[in-house]
Every structure is written in structure tokens, then in C-alpha cells.
Amino acid sequence: MIICFDIGGSGIKAALAKNPAELTPLGRVPTPLDDFSAFVAAIRGVADATAAPAETPIAISITGVVDPADGIITCANIPCIDGRRLSAELATELGRPVFVANDADCFALAEAIEGAGRGHRIVFGAILGTGVGGGIVIDGRVVNGAGGFAGEWGHGPVAATSAGNPPIDIPRIPCGCGQVGCVDTVGAARGMERLHKHLHDIELPSTAIVEAWRAGDTRAARTIEVQIDLVAGPLALVVNVIGASIVPVGGGLGKVPEFIALLDTAVRQRILRRLSQPLVVPSRLTLEPGLVGAAILGFTENAA
């Protein structure tokens, strides 16, 4: 068994996994943000309340990036763990094995093993939620890469400065990572909102833009067209570089099948390989992919 956790800046969700496809929910508790002792206590409280043996491993899907070289996590959303060797410190505190991975990596792992990527050797899990993220799974294992940043296709100054038909100039927008012109600034939900404001001088949440598009609004359709053009190129480059044969998409826009269908067409037009079947697809695991991914991580690493 594995006790798995999905930890974000607001809450800690947990489940007991007999296998990655059989999870028993253990509830949700708030995430302690500024007190590491309280953070440890929250995890211990959930783990100790289970009927699992005391040595049962813990696997964690968490916001932030874990450096595979030293295990140090960078996590601005949860200050009390930022800069810590989280896996090692939790293992010492809790007296059991602890495995920790980035939430996008866990999403990609869940989709590769139990979701849309099942049967594919190379899977790229793309996140189009509040921002843009991703993870790479090859032969059933997450590829971490130097610094733990493998799969982070949303960052780097590569966003086009012109997009759409007819083309329109796109500003170089500062990104939270410190770069200017990242895909993260124009992709996913916040990017959609920025583009709508730039194109039409109208501020709307992404959900309203999508609903307007579905209702036939021409301005929303123009925003979607421009965004697809901006996102498809970088995503196609990722596919070319790593050789992914399937790209499950999670996050809020992953739940909009019409958007994903347009993105799939645009990406397949831009890659070197000619495909007649879908490449970019909605994620299949719509319920708790973080916990599923953590469970897979735990079973895989514990058996290694």
C-alpha cells in the first residue's frame, strides 16, 4: 500500500492506494504555509489515522519543483518547505519512506499509466490551467532532468510576437519566472484573458470567454484563434524534440474539448510526423490525477 498526498497552496488531499487504480479517499486538510512543524503534523495526522502499517511509504504530488540532484524543493506557494530537502526531511520526521514529485510530473505519470497515454511509450502531459506546465514520461517513468525542470514548456522567451489570421502584434509580457515573452504569459486561462483584453479591450474571465465562443461570439472566436496560434508552435516543437506519441492535456482548458480539438489540429499541422489520428487529447483522469500520479510514483519508487 501507499499513502498518497496531493498538496497545493490551499489544501492537502490524501488517499490510501492498494494499487494506482484503487484509491480510498482520506479527506482534505488545510495546508500549513508558514510552519514546517505544522506541515509535518498535518501529514502525520492523516497517515497515522489510516489502518496501514507504520512503515507504509508516503508519496506526494506537490506544487513546486524538486531538484533530482539534491532533493531541494523550490515552492513559492508554501514558504515553510521552500529550499528544504523535503523528501529526506519528511522521511526522518515520519519514520517511513517518502517520495516527492512535482504535480505536473504526477499528472503526466497518471495519464501515461492509467489515462489517455496508456500503451504509449513517450507521453507528454501538458497543463493548460491557470498557467502552462507539463511533464515527460518515458517507458513508464518520469523524466526529471537537470534542476527538475524537464517538461516546463511554458517558460523561456519563445512566444511569437505576431499571431492569428490576419496577423496581429502580440506584446512581450513579463512572466513570473523573470523572463519576458514566455508561453505561460499567453497560454492557458490567464493568457486567454490577457489576449482578450489586448485584442478587444474587454476584461473577462477565461470561463466567460469560452462560453461566449461556444455561443458564436466573433470576438471570443478571434481570441481563441490567436491563442491557438501562439500555443501550437511551442507545443509542436516539444513533440518534435521528445518524440511524444500522445499529449494528454489537463487543467481548465483540458476540460474544453472544442479547444483541445482545435489545438490538436494546429499542432499536427506543425510537427514533422504526419498523423491522421489525434495527438493532443483531453486528459482521461478527470478525478484526482494528482493522487493517482502520486500512487504510481510511490509503487514505482518503492519497488526500485
- Range of 35's domain? 2-102+287-303
Residues 6+ apart with CB under 8 A from 60: 4, 5, 6, 7, 86, 90, 98, 99, 100, 101, 294
Q: What are the residue ranges of helices labelled H in 14-97?
A: 36-48, 86-94
Query: Can you give the pLDDT of all 304 residues of the chain as single tens digits?
Result: 999 999 998 899 999 999 888 899 999 999 999 999 999 999 999 999 998 898 999 999 998 899 998 999 999 889 999 999 999 999 999 999 999 999 999 999 999 999 999 999 999 999 999 899 999 999 999 998 878 889 999 999 999 999 999 999 999 999 988 999 999 999 999 999 999 999 999 999 999 999 999 999 999 999 999 999 999 999 999 999 999 999 999 999 999 999 999 999 999 999 999 999 999 999 999 788 999 999 999 999 887 6
Query: Do 127 and 259 lie in a common domain?
Result: yes
Any domain includes 172:
yes
Query: Do 147 and 201 lie in a common domain?
Result: yes
In the chain, how many domains are there?
2
User: Cell 478527470 maps to which residue?
Assistant: 286
Query: Do 200 and 86 lie in a common domain?
Result: no
Any domain includes 176:
yes
3-state helix, strand, coil in the chain (%, to 5): 40, 25, 35
Any domain includes 66:
yes
Query: Do 67 and 198 lie in a common domain?
Result: no
Any domain includes 108:
no
- Alpha-carbon dihedral 139, 145, 148, 151, rounded to 10 degrees: -70
Q: The CATH number of the domain where 37 resides is what?
A: 3.30.420.40
The overall pTM is greater than 0.85: yes
Query: Do 275 and 291 lie in a common domain?
Result: no
Query: Strand 22-30 relative to strand 11-19: parallel, antiparallel, unpaired?
Result: antiparallel
